[in-house]
Amino acid sequence: MTRQHFWNGSATALVVIGVLWMLTHATSAQTPAAAAGTKSEAAASTPKMPDGKPDLNGTWDNGRSTFGFAANAGNVTTCVFGCQPFGQGGGAAAGPRPGPGRPVYKPEFVSKVKMLDDQQVKLDPALYCKPPGLPRIGPPDKIVQTPGQVVFLYDDLSGAFFRIVPTDGRRHRADVDPTYLGDSVGHWEGDTLVIEATNFNDDSWLGDNGLFHTTNLKVTERLRRTGNTIAYTVTVEDPAVLAAPWAMRPRTLSLTDQELIEPAPCVEKSLEHVLDGTHHDNAR
Partner 1 sequence: MNLRLVAAAAAFAVATGTQASAHHSVEGAFEPTKRMQLTGVISKVQWTNPHIYLYLDVKDGANVTTWELETIPTAAMRRAGVTMKMLMGGGQTVVVDAYPARDGTKNLAFILRVTYPDGHSYQLYNNPDATR
Q: Which residues bind partner 1 (CB under 8 A)?
A: 36-38, 64-85, 88-96, 121, 127, 129, 155, 157-159, 256, 263-271, 273-282
84 to 79, 81, 128: CA distances (angstroms): 10, 9, 29
Find the shortest distance in angstroms from Cβ 94 to partner 1: 3
Which of 127/150 has CB closer to partner 1?
127
Which of 36/43 has CB closer to partner 1?
36
37 to 45, 168, 251, 258, 276: CA distances (angstroms): 19, 33, 19, 6, 40
SS3 234: strand
Burial of 42 (0-12, 13-18, 19+ CB in 10 A): exposed
Which of 53/97 has CB closer to partner 1?
97
Find the shortest distance in angstroms from Cβ 264 to partner 1: 4
Find the shortest distance in angstroms from Cβ 107 to partner 1: 26
Burial of 97 (0-12, 13-18, 19+ CB in 10 A): middle
Find the shortest distance in angstroms from Cβ 102 to partner 1: 14
Which of 97/187 has CB closer to partner 1?
97
> What single letter denotes the amino acid at residue 269?
K
Residues paired with 166 in a beta bridge: 149
Which helix (H) or strand (E) segment holds residue 59: the answer is strand 58-61
Find the shortest distance in angstroms from Cβ 78 to partner 1: 5
Which of 108/276 has CB closer to partner 1?
276
Q: List, in sequence order, every beta strand (DSSP E) within 157-238.
A: 159-166, 183-189, 192-198, 218-226, 229-237
Find the shortest distance in angstroms from Cβ 62 to partner 1: 11
Contact 104, 209 (CB under 8 A): no
Burial of 14 (0-12, 13-18, 19+ CB in 10 A): middle
Which of 145/158 has CB closer to partner 1?
158
Find the shortest distance in angstroms from Cβ 270 to partner 1: 6
Which of 219/255 has CB closer to partner 1?
255
Contact 229, 253 (CB under 8 A): yes
Compute the CA torsion angle 256, 232, 264, 85 (nearest 10 deg). 80
Which of 171/269 has CB closer to partner 1?
269
Find the shortest distance in angstroms from Cβ 73 to partner 1: 6
